[in-house]
Structure 1
Amino acid sequence: MTRRRFLVLGGGALVAAAVGFPATRALRGGDPARVPFPAAPPLRVDDVTVVDPADGSRHPHRSIVVREGRITAVTGPDVHTDVAHVVDGAGRFAVPGYNNMHVHTMQGTRTRAHLATMLAEGVTGIRQMAASKDLLRYRAEGRLPLTEYAPALLAMPGALLSPFTAGSADDARAQVTRQKEQGADFIKIVVYDRESFLAAVDQAHREGLPTAGHLPPEVSVAEASRLGYSCVEHLGTGSNIWISCSTERDTLWGREKPALPVPSWVLDLPFVEKVSAGRTNKMLINPAAFAAEPAVALLRQALDTFDEARARELARTLAANRTWQTPTLVRLRTQYLADAPEYRRDPGLSLMSCEERADRREVLDTFEKLPATTRETYRKAYETCVRMVGICHAAGAPMMTGTDGQGDTPGQTMRLEFAQWAAAGIEPLDILRAATTGPAAYLGRSGRTGRIAVGADADFLLLDADPLAEVANLSAVSAVIRAGHHLTRDRIRSVAERDTDGDDIEGPAVPACC
């Protein structure tokens, strides 16, 4: 396949250089300064109930001792360790910090504020899903704004593998090898034909790198799982998964055709990626608002013939092969249920620039003008997404929490993601696991993250209510201990609100609200 075949996936799920956000912007003159991470003084948190996600046990009246950013002791009420900073945790519950395993924070504006906003939600670790050679270098040189008011950057790819960066199987292999040399932790794959996709996955295996991202129409979720694809994002993107679960699977397979979102001659112009990104930014806010009727009709037919037995079969395949998923339900909800009134008044809108807010409102207007039958199809699509997440969980398919946001993206918070998992019938303990022990296992860091235990990183939360009793309690964050720094939620929020990100990595600071 050549770079001329720039794809649009069925069901209106447009994927350009990135999903949900513009491509990584050009850097503003020169490298950013190095960002030191301050050491935290020794800390002891007393009289908390420690919750262990591994077995769901609660251990009341415990003290957690932290030195040099690591947990050095978890003791009973009669054992005291002398430290200068003591926090009274009476009545509160301590849980490991949450991991948001699908974010785009590093490629946006106001990076510092967005990172602090996520930390205030209890997110102490993130997997960045789009990057560049420069961002990988900045990480290695300590130039990213990763202070104590930011989650830890757990994993980051290089440039997204797309027709612009790798237009053939050979290009795909070369890109994977190059990104390994640049320090990428995994390979993020977006739009691809079958040949290039298979080549990228195979080369990543050779280089010892995980793969994550979307699936081309020619590769089913089950096949990707059998090939060893590490993590499927957004349930695979497009109609792929619904065709796989349809009673008319054999008839529908192959009808989801790639197509050009821009005239073919545009792809021969210099700076084509920037040209395309500029044209498609509004589509990326919500691709469903701009879907062609044939794609919607195919989605409708696949949903109308959804078969739970086939869905359970697929879920068992994912479980058997240990193929991870980050369903990002809140992203899918903002896409398919964009006419929900709460998206007009979401608090995140106040943190956006005037231009960003205007673009989002225009896209919401476009969605609301879609035919009633189209919006009904989308409502059914989202209901089926939630249903599929419940089916996968019941089958033991491994899943992780993620929002596909930047930190303040309207409708895309961890609190709302937790609520959507609960709507899928998943209990609070298992949601907690998907945010803690699950990501730790996926990243191979179970010895350092996901539990409050001796030797683990001192990234944990103090909650005001029992997180196992009700899903809303997972978001009752009163304080975050980040690498040993004790930070109240109000303090973190104040940092997020005042930080205009004047030394932003990529792009100007956001202007004052209109």
Structure 2
Amino acid sequence: MPPAYVHPPTTSGIFTIRDTTVVDVRTETLHPHQDIHIADGKIAAITHTGATTDEQTIDGHGTYVVPGFIDAHTHALNWPKEVAGAYALMLANGVVGFRQMSGSPELLTDRAAGRLPAPTGAPELLATCGTLLTPMNTSTAEDAAKEVRTQHKLGADFIKAGMTQHDGFFAALTEAQRLELPLDGHLPGDVDPREAAQHGMRCIEHLGPGATVYTAASTEEKTLRAQPQKSIKLPKVKLPGMERVLNALIARLVINPAALTSTDAAHELHVADTTYDEAKAAELADLFIEHDTWQCPTLIRLHTQQFPDTPAHQDDPRQRYIAPAELKRWRKATKRFAKLPDKTRKALREHWDAQLRMTKLFADKGVPMIAGTDANGAGWVIPGFALHDEFDLLADAGLSPVTILQMATSNAARFFGRADTHGQVAQGFHADLVLLQRNPLSDHTALHEISGVVRDGGWWSRADLDAILDRLAADPSAR
């Protein structure tokens, strides 16, 4: 049995949060002195503070209520039997839902059968894909289309593009479009992001990754596009047991893919970053808006890849929640990164400013964006807490507090097709809420100051959340 880090909520069923300020994340307005009446996991009513007949009452005086946070890029269910630690960290940090960014036939089958773990206080699985698209299952157009059809039959919510190349990527995208199945994920290095958007790619993760998005905003784009693109070499032939070997290899690589950065790739980043054309970047943003192509920047993931050996990550006290064996893998990957040539590591460090600049431009232009972390398996990315790290990095990029809040709440609800039931503090909506000590519309750091969490109609106070963290620190198992 997995550890029971999260105990049952101290209050559930029918109760009222009295005299709080409701934050309307869509209209960017505050509604003080409100009573939120909760029943059976939903917001039954919101009224001006007054007398209540509910026997159970939470004192919300001085607090601000926002929708629960969504981490739109995680890998929590890569290890279903070991997910309790990650789920506990999510609850303690106000994360009430997530998108699973890697899957398998077994994961999809178990979800359909109701066999996925659902410990007390677990976040809601909002969407999951099947097997990652790689050269192994997209080596031909026929193989790529077949893989998409297989995942569609198994109930995948979307297709995840990973280590694909141009032809396999577009074959999968075409078939996904035919089946009305979204395709999210990584842009291959030989794919123009404009072409991907025009063909219907729904969401680009990690601002690429790599140079391709930045190349589209470079005055030297033609020269950069003409360069041969090298990708991670993976087997294309299926042999008995090969998928298990491939999954183990990918798990090792994803701890820090930046450790595999070639000198050519680093040079491309440098050229793209130093030949930035804001007008071209704005045109790219307009195209994303036109085709409703979302962005999930995962800045915390990018930072831990490009700066893994900095004290901010190496000396992070929150490592006490991570399984010792996992920490060992992270340290090993960091040693591999340290062996990169100085010039390569310099290009990666300097690329950070370009990533912040692109994130701000997309936000300012109105490109649809969601917040994600790539937690679970990514080196130095601490589940739950990482979403708050993402908030800080988005602020460093220049995004406003309300934009950051919307990315993790109302934008996410719209992205997942749940805008009528999630992402607002309103009557009839799911009772997934976070109580904050300060106004998050004036300062994004208020998002860190959690007084309590309502998840699926159950209430955990600050003291309850601290107890969860204490239990996990005593028996660390998160990955």
The two structures have a TM-score, normalised by structure 1, of 0.85
Q: Deviations over 1:234-259 (max 9, x none)?
A: 11211111211111101110425134
Name 2:175's counterpart in structure 1: 203
Q: Deviations over 1:314-355 (max 9, x none)?
A: 111112221101010000011112232111112343233333
Q: 2:76 aligns with which of 105, 114, 126?
A: 105
Displacement of 1:213: 0.4
Once the two structures are overlaid, the 10-residue window that deviates more, 359-368 or 428-437, is: 359-368
Matches within 5 A, 1:277-316: 277-279=247-249, 281-316=251-286
Task: Report if the CA contact (8 A) 2:320-2:473 is conserved.
Answer: no
Displacement of 1:462: 0.5
CA distance in 1 between partners of 2:82 and 2:468 (Å): 12
Q: Deviations over 1:193-229 (max 9, x none)?
A: 2222112112112212111001122221111111111
Displacement of 1:103: 0.4
* RMSD, matched Cα: 2.6
AA partner of residue 418 (structure 1): F
Name 1:418's counterpart in structure 2: 391
CA distance in 1 between partners of 2:310 and 2:75 (Å): 24
Displacement of 1:310: 1.2
Matches within 5 A, 1:232-251: 232-251=204-223
Contiguous gaps of at least 5 residues in structure 2: 2-7
CA distance in 1 between partners of 2:180 and 2:264 (Å): 40
Tell me if 1:183 matches 2:183: no
CA distance in 2 between partners of 1:246 and 1:434 (Å): 27
The change in CA–CA distance for 1:187 and 1:408 in structure 2 (over 3 A counts) is closer
Task: Report if the CA contact (8 A) 1:348-1:408 is conserved.
Answer: no
Once the two structures are overlaid, the 10-residue window that deviates more, 41-50 or 180-189, is: 180-189
Displacement of 1:192: 1.6
Once the two structures are overlaid, the 10-residue window that deviates more, 363-372 or 317-326, is: 363-372
Name 1:372's counterpart in structure 2: 342
AA partner of residue 373 (structure 1): K
CA distance in 2 between partners of 1:197 and 1:239 (Å): 17
CA distance in 1 between partners of 2:211 and 2:316 (Å): 28
Q: 2:352 aligns with which of 349, 361, 382?
A: 382
Matches within 5 A, 1:127-276: 127-261=99-233, 269-276=239-246
AA partner of residue 245 (structure 1): A
Tell me if 1:447 matches 2:417: no
Task: Report if the CA contact (8 A) 1:337-1:379 is conserved.
Answer: yes
CA distance in 1 between partners of 2:451 and 2:18 (Å): 15
Tell me if 1:90 matches 2:82: no
Task: Report if the CA contact (8 A) 1:243-1:302 is conserved.
Answer: yes
Aligned length: 468
Q: 1:434 aligns with which of 383, 389, 407?
A: 407
**DSSP-derived class of the 1:285 partner:** coil
Displacement of 1:409: 6.0
The change in CA–CA distance for 1:447 and 1:409 in structure 2 (over 3 A counts) is farther
AA partner of residue 498 (structure 1): R
**DSSP-derived class of the 2:421 partner:** coil
CA distance in 1 between partners of 2:327 and 2:153 (Å): 39
AA partner of residue 20 (structure 2): V
The two structures have a TM-score, normalised by structure 2, of 0.91
CA distance in 2 between partners of 1:407 and 1:44 (Å): 39
Name 1:327's counterpart in structure 2: 297
Task: Report if the CA contact (8 A) 2:85-2:477 is conserved.
Answer: no
CA distance in 1 between partners of 2:27 and 2:142 (Å): 46
CA distance in 2 between partners of 1:500 and 1:209 (Å): 40
Task: Report if the CA contact (8 A) 1:256-1:298 is conserved.
Answer: no
Report percent identity of matched pairs: 36
Task: Report if the CA contact (8 A) 1:112-1:501 is conserved.
Answer: no
Contiguous gaps of at least 5 residues in structure 1: 1-27, 29-36, 503-508
AA partner of residue 187 (structure 1): I
CA distance in 1 between partners of 2:33 and 2:379 (Å): 38
Task: Report if the CA contact (8 A) 1:99-1:126 is conserved.
Answer: yes
CA distance in 1 between partners of 2:166 and 2:378 (Å): 35
Task: Report if the CA contact (8 A) 1:460-1:482 is conserved.
Answer: yes
Displacement of 1:279: 4.5
Q: Deviations over 1:443-470 (max 9, x none)?
A: 1111100101111000011111111121
Once the two structures are overlaid, the 10-residue window that deviates more, 270-279 or 296-305, is: 270-279
CA distance in 1 between partners of 2:232 and 2:299 (Å): 27
Q: Deviations over 1:465-499 (max 9, x none)?
A: 11112111111111110111001244245345536
Displacement of 1:281: 4.2
The change in CA–CA distance for 1:487 and 1:510 in structure 2 (over 3 A counts) is closer
The change in CA–CA distance for 1:103 and 1:493 in structure 2 (over 3 A counts) is farther
Once the two structures are overlaid, the 10-residue window that deviates more, 415-424 or 153-162, is: 153-162
**DSSP-derived class of the 1:363 partner:** helix
The change in CA–CA distance for 1:121 and 1:228 in structure 2 (over 3 A counts) is same
CA distance in 1 between partners of 2:473 and 2:179 (Å): 40
CA distance in 1 between partners of 2:232 and 2:345 (Å): 24
Once the two structures are overlaid, the 10-residue window that deviates more, 171-180 or 415-424, is: 171-180
The change in CA–CA distance for 1:185 and 1:451 in structure 2 (over 3 A counts) is same
Task: Report if the CA contact (8 A) 2:136-2:238 is conserved.
Answer: no
AA partner of residue 345 (structure 1): D
The change in CA–CA distance for 1:364 and 1:391 in structure 2 (over 3 A counts) is same
